Structure 1
Amino acid sequence: MSRDVVITGYGLVSSAGEGVDAALDVLRGGARPRLDETSFAPYPVHPASAIELDRQIPKKSDQRQMEPWQRLGVYAAGLALDHAGAKDDAALKARMHLIVAAGGGERDYAVDGQILTRIREAADPGVFLNERLMSDVRPTLFLAQLSNLLAGNISIVHGVTGASRTFMGEESAGVDALRVARARIASGQNDIVLVGGSYNAERPDSLLIYAMGGFLWQGPFSPVFERPQAGGGFILGSGGAFVVLESREHAQGRGARALASLSAVASTRTRREPGAVASSLQALWREAGVARPDLVVSGATGVAMPTSEERDALQGLARDVVPLAIGDAMGHTIEMQAPAGVALAAALIARDEASEAAVTAIGHWRGEGVVRLTRA
């Protein structure tokens, strides 16, 4: 059994603002990307835009108990439900499944700072670290950081109470969340799924980790595909992106408009040897059945090797198509990069500005994915 899977709603919040139009305005040169170059200098970030949380998270108590990445995700999920015409249908949401791509929660910066300071003087750093993790990181604090709390808060606030799953694993989490959601609907296991993710870039701990790995861009803004020539690196961005996926029959049955078809999601994970990203992208392109796309939405990071190989491969795979690098508008949003790309592609297809789109998600370290969308 293989049913058509369509997108009936999307919700996006990013540094560019609320909705796909704000991001597209930046991508098309109508507005400048929003950047905070001082708070975490020398590393710029694309900060979260100001949103009226009450519109999608009515209870102040719910807002207070969430961390920033959860608020962004819950808000974007509400936008997607609104757009799909599902927000006020309690029975529909009770059987709607939920798949979230998310990383860990916020850190206790005071504890992290103490450990990083004192571990330098420890006689046995490994023993010291284990002792501190056992005594300083409280179980209650750890529970507050669980990545599946985003799914829990979406269920509480929006009433999406079908089965839920949370995927972790950086960029690949977003790709596989879409892949599994699509596969379950196509196979007849589910009729409707809410899928997406969120990310808070304004976190010293995240910036520290990626800086230690040599992945962050330093200095003034530069377009994603131009960064490899200057050493490469990504600029983290805050935001949330969700899409509502349904079988075509289910959408027709409830009178929902199919904005685009989610025709295929292909993913893999290769060792990053020279040429591996290009070969992987070419293989995924074929697996996803991408034919003659008139739109390419790229989740390229800006990291030198994978970004340069993706740029060169796309010149052969999608001739005469200039890729839209979503990092230019909203930064690199890790787990939500693929859902954000799908939301933007679906919007352009729904407006008849494209008939076939390919969305790429090439991880900064590991993981590659290609999503194919077509007219519904």
Structure 2
Amino acid sequence: MSRSERRVVITGMGVVAPGGIGRKRFWHLLTSGRTATRTISFFDPDPYRSQVAAECDFAPRAEGLGAQEVRRMDRVAQFAAACTDQCLADSGLEFEGLPPHRTGTSIGTAVGCTMSLDEEYRVVSDSGASWLVDHSYAIPHLYDQFVPSSVAAEVAWRAGAEGPAAVVSTGCTSGLDSVGHARALIREGSADVMIAGASDAPISPITAACFDAIKATTPSNDVPESASRPFDRNRDGFVLGEGAAVFVLEELEHARRRGAEIVAEVRGFASRCNAFHMTGLRPDGKEMAEAIRASLAEARVAPEDVDYVNAHGSGTKQNDRHETAAFKRALGEHARRTPISSVKSMVGHSLGAIGSIEIAASALAIANDTVPPTANLTEADPECDLDYVPREARELPTETVLTVGSGFGGFQSAMVLTAHGGAQ
């Protein structure tokens, strides 16, 4: 079978998200239009400009992690491990019977083990008082937290996967790019099954300080539940989040032979870079539009076949306007007829993880013929004049979904998901 003939489908899904662990709770949160943003509880937020975040109510022992695993793993790896356990069970695949070298892993993360590194530096430096630090005060597993590849290793160990293994770190598009990379490995014949997704747990003082410095996060601290306002005239920055989503990807015939339930097909993927600015975006949306066009072309899907767009929708003024322009350039007049929404309005922006969390939302939109809303959208920005599905979910036959991401460094990624048996 040639590379172009090998098709890739999602047969298992695991989600750890603010307001909902597991695909059912996650989907219930999204379709209810309920937000999971609140005042930061992980540390004292008073010194910071932005004091709100979308935190996960995550208890690692309750999610099946043992005491030694909890001690060894940073929160980002705990999220990935819990999602892996979920998606393996969800897929119904008997991994013990698979050729281990034909199963691989591809995990995305933007900032790796930030929480442990932040905490351990505070310990070894005596809260910054000592320039010359004493390493003997550090935990014995600090090396694993310096190396993001440890997250992919944890996932591979859980699945017994001995095939290709990678960590993809392309900023806020990591969660899309890691799944795109896994799909490419299956299409080229390097693997039959991939465990792919992304995880990030960045809610820490160092992250808060960094985003405060460039005023990217919202200062709307008084009413945390309405602080994330993508495409709204009164938006003033994104809400930091955390979480993970991990999938079982299979070559289509491999899935068919075992009678697997197919959640969605990953039909097209493309990534571009604007080569322009570390944090800035051109207003014309040219590079995102090119990524969208390329992903649609690979999927053999016309713009007018797109039923729903899962937007990046971070809630910063430049991103939302840039993205609106990109949709118009790539989809033409169909952009005005297509429902578009941002789930970041409910679960915040979990940096490298959010692309995979949005793939989960897109696949569930297909499975349930329902488009999640953009919460808190009460007064649309006149420059964001498309159908951004304000506040309430919308039942709609949903066969083809476009999901996009935009990241610092100029990364722009787009992926097309379809119902299995959809447009060929």
Pair 1:310 & 2:323 matched: yes
Q: Give 1:107's aligned residue.
A: 117
Query: Does 2:45 match 1:40?
Result: yes
1:262 maps to 2:266: yes
Amino acid at match of 2:52: P
Q: Which residue of 14, 18, 27 corresponds with 2:17? A: 14
Partner of 2:167: 166
Q: Distance in 2 between matches of 1:360 and 1:27?
A: 18
Given the alignment, which residue of 19, 39, 50 partners 2:58? Answer: 50
- How many Å separate the matches in 1 of 2:404 and 2:283? 15
Q: Please give the alpha-carbon distance, in whole angstroms, between the structure 2 residues aligned to 1:53 and 1:132.
A: 32
- Cα distance in 1 for partners of 2:281, 2:312 equals 20
1:142 deviates by 4.2
* Residues 217 and 346 of structure 1, relative CA distance in 2, 3 Å threshold: same
Q: Which amino acid aligns with 1:275?
A: R
2:205 is matched with 204
State how far apart, in whole Å, the 2-side matches of 1:301 and 1:308 are.
11
Cα offset for 1:110? 6.5
Q: Please, which of 411, 419, 423 is the counterpart of residue 367 of structure 1?
A: 411
**Aligned residue number for residue 399 of structure 2:** 355
Give the CA deviation at 1:276. 5.4
Matches within 5 A, 1:234-245: 234-245=238-249
Shift of 1:116: 9.4
Aligned-pair distance for 1:348? 2.1
Pair 117,32 (structure 1): closer, same or farther in 2 beyond 3 Å = closer
Alpha carbons of structure 1 residues 188 and 208: separation in structure 2 relative to 1, 3 Å? same
Alpha-carbon separation, structure 2, partners of 1:71 and 1:107:
15
> 1:226-247: CA deviations, max 9, x gaps?
46x4463221112111111111
Query: Conserved in 2, the CA contact under 8 Å of 1:93 and 1:159?
Result: no
- 1:108 shift after superposition: 4.2
Root-mean-square deviation (CA), in Å?
3.0
Change (3 A) 1:56 1:160: farther
Match among 282, 286, 293 for residue 306 of structure 2: 293
Structure 1 residue aligned with 2:389: none
* CA distance, structure 2, for counterparts of residue 92 and residue 167 of structure 1: 25
* Structure 1 runs, 4 residues or longer, greater than 4 Å off: 112-119, 131-140
User: Are the equivalent residues in 1 in contact too, given 2:366–2:399 (CA < 8 A)?
Assistant: yes
Q: Please report how far the alpha carbon of residue 51 of structure 1 lies from its aligned counterpart in structure 2 after TM superposition.
A: 4.5
Call closer, same or farther: CA 1:137–1:52 in 2, change over 3 Å. Answer: closer
Task: Give the structure-1-normalised TM-score.
Answer: 0.85
How many pairs were matched up? 363
Q: Deviations over 1:175-231 (max 9, x none)?
A: 32122111111122211111011111331122122222322111233344246x446
Quote the Cα distance in structure 2 between the aligned partners of 1:216 and 1:116. Answer: 25
Measure, in 2, the Cα distance between the counterparts of 1:275 and 1:234.
19
User: What are the Cα deviations for residues 56-98 of structure 1, in whole angstroms up to 9, with x where unaligned?
Assistant: 43x3221222111111111011111111112x43132734200
Give the deviation of 1:118 after TM superposition. Answer: 7.0
Q: Amino acid of the residue matched to residue 89 of structure 1? A: F
Q: 1:234 to 1:287 in 2, by over 3 A?
A: same
Partner of 1:66: 73
Aligned to 1:328: 345
Q: 1:37 to 1:173 in 2, by over 3 A?
A: closer
Which residue of 1 is the match for residue 215 of structure 2?
Answer: 214
For residues 186 and 363 of structure 2, what CA distance do their matches in structure 1 show?
A: 18
What is the CA distance between 1:338 and its match in structure 2?
1.3
How far does residue 4 in structure 1 lie from its aligned partner after superposition?
Answer: 1.2
Change (3 A) 1:136 1:23: same
Distance (whole Å) between structure 1 residues aligned to residue 207 and residue 419 of structure 2: 38
Residues 134/18 of structure 1: CA separation in 2 closer, same or farther (3 Å cut):
closer
Structure-2 change in CA distance of 1:140 and 1:55 (3 Å): closer
The equivalent of 1:337 in structure 2 is 354
8 Å contact from structure 2 (residues 8, 251) kept in 1: yes
Distance, in Å, in 2 between the alignment partners of 1:55 and 1:149 is 20
The answer on 1:252 being equivalent to 2:256 is yes
Deviations 1:250-297 (A, max 9, x none): 111222122211011111111156635611122112111152211111
Q: Is the 8 A contact 1:72 1:239 kept in 2?
A: yes
Are 1:10 and 1:80, in contact at CA under 8 Å, matched by a contact in 2? yes
Matched with 1:123 is none
User: Matches of 1:260 and 1:374 in 2, distance apart?
Assistant: 6
Q: Matches of 2:192 and 2:354 in 1, distance apart?
A: 24
Distance of 2:7 and 2:170 partners within structure 1: 28
For 1:372, what is the secondary structure of its paired residue? strand
**SS, match of residue 146 in structure 2:** coil
The 3-state SS of whatever aligns with 2:237 is coil
* Contact residue 36 and residue 47 of structure 1 kept, 8 A: no
> Deviations along 1:112-134, whole A, 9 cap, x unmatched?
59599679xxxxxxxx8xx7799
Residue 142 and residue 300 in structure 1: after superposition, are their counterparts in 2 closer, same or farther (change >3 A)?
A: farther
Equivalent residue letter for 1:146: V
Q: Identify if the C-alpha distance between structure 1 residues 232 and 168 changes in structure 2 by more than 3 Å, giving closer, same or farther.
A: same
For 1:116 and 1:11, locate their aligned partners in 2 and report how far apart those are by CA, in whole Å: 36
Which 5+ residue runs of structure 2 have no aligned equivalent? 370-396
Secondary structure, counterpart of 1:319 in structure 2:
helix
Pairing 1:225–2:224 present: no
